[in-house]
A and B are shown apart, each in its own frame.
Chain A
Amino acid sequence: MTTTTKPAAPVAAAPGRRPGGAALALRQGRLEITQFLRSRESVVFTMGFPVIMILIFAAIFSDEIAPGVSYTQYFITGMIATGLMTVSFQNLGIWIPIERDRGVLKRYRGTPMPKWVWFAGKVLMVVAIGIAETVLLLAVSVALFDLKLPDTAAKWATFGWVAVLGVTACTLCGIAISSLARTARSGSAVVTPVALVLQFISGVFFVFTSLPSWMQQVAALFPLKWMCQGLRSVFLPDSFGAQEPGGSFELGRVALVLGLWCVIGLVLCLTTFRWTTKRDG
């Protein structure tokens, strides 16, 4: 066996300054955000959906749920929670299968990019879009429907941790559920019904306590109900806590259930995540 031997490759000219992990994650996040903002469907349906819903709800329920408290004040909590779930759970559950099917994930795996950087990019995108969308929703509601924003630092803090825990749980679950879809198209078929059913039973479209009690109990197994409940403690007067199924806003339980879903989501991600499609080994 004869071989033509050529001069060997110059062994990596300058010993590489490999870009730092944090810098890589930021670049990845910026790329994800750019891709999201340039996709018109994503912007309209993910960012616009909660705003459109609050416009419709405010038009239908223009009266007060209690003296001095408008229905908008109640439904804004569901819309914020839904918006956060849309940008994390639905967005990832629909887009990751598309990227997996197109071979985008496989291509990333062939580069020296550490795996976690890709996840960090997704998380940064979810956080940035989630904040933008929530701010937009609040601004529209304040401008058009006299929404009262939280008036104490403690309420803003609650708003913060409920949103962070909720988004974390939904992001992890969105990444996890993305592995259920076998093809690019089926992501939406897997995720949309789950999201829609949760929205109906978790008090997004109806006053939660007006739902049948078995439905309330099913909803209590999933994060969305607890996100709504935590946000109600932020946007509604303290006296409303007595009307909750547990007799109070149960913030401790909100934190516990959302935290538990973060753990479940993380375990599912670590055990089931696939970089390639099944037919692709």
Chain B
Amino acid sequence: MDDELAISVRGLRKAYGDTVAVAGVDLDVHRGEVFALLGPNGAGKTTTVEILEGYRRRDAGEVRVLGADPAHPDPAWRSRVGIVLQGTGEFDELTVAEVVRHFAGFYPDSDDPDKVVERVGLGAKARARTHTLSGGQKRRLDVALGIVGRPELLFLDEPTTGFDPEARREFWELIRDLSAAGTTIVLTTHYLDEAEALADRVGVIAAGRLVEVAPPTRLGNRQEALATVSWRTPDGTPETAETATPTALVAELAARFGGEVPGLTVTRPTLEDVYLRMIGH
């Protein structure tokens, strides 16, 4: 077992009846890494993550998470893994502080519950019953319960669904803090900007297969992709050219126009362009 690997997966398969959810996934996540699993609904993200979390049994494949097989989770292993599920389990009758304190008690080396409540931005709501929280606030409580045990490895399944833009930025800061402190993070998301902002590497999953794994800037060979240069001719007709040497083209255009090039833009495929192509759109 390679100690540098937090997660190692080979040939993972899972079917529900005739529906194949995961069709042979190989994946390594290194310790200390932030890994984002990106894919459309029904691509197999949640199934894959829930197998890694020890919630679901696999049909085939080798899986090691923190050196153990998650199909047989024991309390010692569980205390090293933090989980933020997609669906929220609600404790309507309890306050935020009570729930976080209670869950802290399950872990041998838990963080200070009050500090965790502050950290996820629920300080002002600590004494509120959880049923009075908004959707985004409930999600923050989920995150608090995922991190209160000070996990080595943290799973987050679509953590920022229901967040407003400001809350998402705050959440991203929290993830960067945890990562800087050495926590390995695996998150699934629909949001490309989230993957781009947080992840060291992104795995794109479609129809139960990992289509590509790469740092966000290199996904789909984005950096090597041809650049698109657009401008307007003197009579106003839009003109575009795809080129591997956009700088040379722009220099040539500048010379041709004797100064400013009207309507000049230089673009490369966005992560979204690359992603949509990969998942078959």
Contact = CB atoms under 8 A, between A and B. Distances in A.
Interface of A: 1-19, 24, 27, 31, 34-35, 38-39, 99, 102-114, 276, 280-281
Given A3-B201, A12-B108, A103 B85 contact: yes
Secondary structure call for the B interface: loop
A10 B200 CA distance: 20
Given A6-B179, A9-B182, A111 B103 contact: yes
13 contacts: A4-B200, A6-B31, A7-B32, A24-B105, A24-B106, A31-B102, A34-B93, A38-B93, A105-B89, A110-B54, A110-B55, A111-B107, A281-B50
Interface stretch (B72-80, B159-167, B222-230): B72-80
B205 to A, nearest CB: 16
B270 interface: no
A17 B78 CA distance: 15
A3 B30 contact: yes
B158 interface: no
B109 A13 contact: yes
A280 B54 CA distance: 13
A9 B152 contact: yes
Contact of A110 (B16, B78, B200, B214): B78
Contacts of B85: 103, 106-107, 110
B75 A113 contact: yes
Secondary structure call for the A interface: loop
Contacts of A39: 92-93
B106 A103 contact: no
Nearest to A23: B105
A13 B107 CA distance: 13
A113 B76 CA distance: 10
B6 to A, nearest CB: 9
A99 B184 CA distance: 30
B93 A35 contact: yes
Closest 7 interchain pairs by CB?
A16-B108, A6-B32, A107-B89, A103-B89, A9-B182, A112-B75, A38-B93
A102 B182 contact: no
Contacts of A19: 105-106, 108
B88 interface: yes
Given A3-B33, A12-B80, 14 more contacts: A3-B200, A3-B201, A8-B4, A9-B152, A9-B181, A12-B109, A13-B109, A34-B93, A39-B93, A103-B89, A105-B89, A108-B89, A111-B149, A112-B76
